Amino acid sequence: MGIPTFENQNGRMMEGDGGASIIDMLIRAGKRQSVFRSYVFPYMDRPNLTVLTHALVTRLTFAGARATGVEISYGGKTRRIAAESEVVLSLGAINTPKVLMQSGIGDQAELQRLGIPVVQHLPGVGQNFQDHPAFGCIWEYLEALPPRNNLGEATFFWKSDPQLASPDSQTCQVEVPLSSAENAARFGLPANGWTLLGGLVQPKSRGQIRLTGPNPLDPIQIEANFLSHPDDLKAAIACVELCREIGNSEPLGPFAKREVMPGNLKGLELENFIRDEASTYRHETCTAKMGRDSMSVVDGSLRVYGIDNLRIADGSIMPRVTTGNTMAPCVIIGERAAEILREAHKIEHADVPHPEESVAL
């Protein structure tokens, strides 16, 4: 197809003209490693670290405009944990704005509508939601191959328009059929198949996260607004067409008994397939963005505007979703947050810090 190959998907491939590669992963002793397993688990025996599972953070506590700790629901009881130094929220792009709004930090009119006392008017909380919408194109195996390894270890980035400065789509090959519920019901999924899962990595559509009520157990409302910008639909059509061209190419013939979806759809039928197929790459970001405009939530040091002793360190602070997977950028945000906290609280960098020197989180 004229798509060049690279040693990995980072740097030149996703920021240049595009290409294909095997995907980088964190693997140790044959198993994928989570960030928790890599960063936290080796230090679980430290006296200044407590990991409390099955605890729901319900809201922040304040003394005026100063964050003093968090309130949690744990073991059927409401408990408060005080922070002597700072609180750092790292709950992700859905739950970070949820906790902020339930604590009175958000758009004043929206909070008042729900009967939540306003602590700080920040209209950008929950706004600017971004994600990488995904579209599955599926083939049935000619002869069933057992899924192995990560279920998918090849990817390519490409441009929907050669005039673009960098790729606006990413596709991963998946060793199982992967589709939306709507299209799975319409087309039917083969017992044995594989997928080219296309995705938009520079979406122009923006969504929002909203509360449905003041109670922490009230469900969050996620308005993703996928494909609401016309340019995203054009890019999605180009992505699906490229996936079909590759999936139906001669080199993949030995692996394809038939194309299951979308098939040779055109015009409105193809648009409807894409709208029904749009799902998440699970790269939700940008709902408490860093910046200096009126819709920004944190400054360059991750501090929440108008609130003392409160920072955010997760993907919600991104102004724009990254071109590609979001795990590594979130790790960098965490690393940078650690540097900022060390400097702010004059913590000496040591392999095992003394408990009294640690920041109370």
Residue whose entry in the numeric block shows the structure tokens 């994928």 = 32
* Active-site option among 121, 132, 283, 349: 283
Strand partners, 21: 155
Tokens coding 351? 């392999």
- The answer to whether 360 touches 83, Cβ cutoff 8 Å, is yes
φ, ψ for residue 211, nearest 5 deg: -80, 145
CA distance 161 to 239: 10
- The answer to whether 305 touches 298, Cβ cutoff 8 Å, is yes
CA distance 116 to 323: 36
- The answer to whether 359 touches 346, Cβ cutoff 8 Å, is no
- Angle (CA) 64-69-72 rounded to 5° is 125
Residue 331: its H or E element: helix 327-344
CA distance 103 to 71: 10
DSSP 56-72: EEEEEEEETTEEEEEEE
Neighbours of 64 (CB within 10 A): 8
* Size of the chain, expressed as the number of residues it contains: 361
Helices (H) and strands (E) in the chain, counts: 8, 18
CA distance 357 to 333: 22
The residue among 84, 38, 50, 49 whose CA lies nearest residue 352 is 49
CA distance 126 to 316: 9
CA distance 263 to 34: 37
Judge whether 283 counts as a catalytic residue.
yes
The residue among 184, 219, 202 whose CA lies nearest residue 130 is 202
The type of residue at 150 is N
Catalytic residues, by residue number, are 283
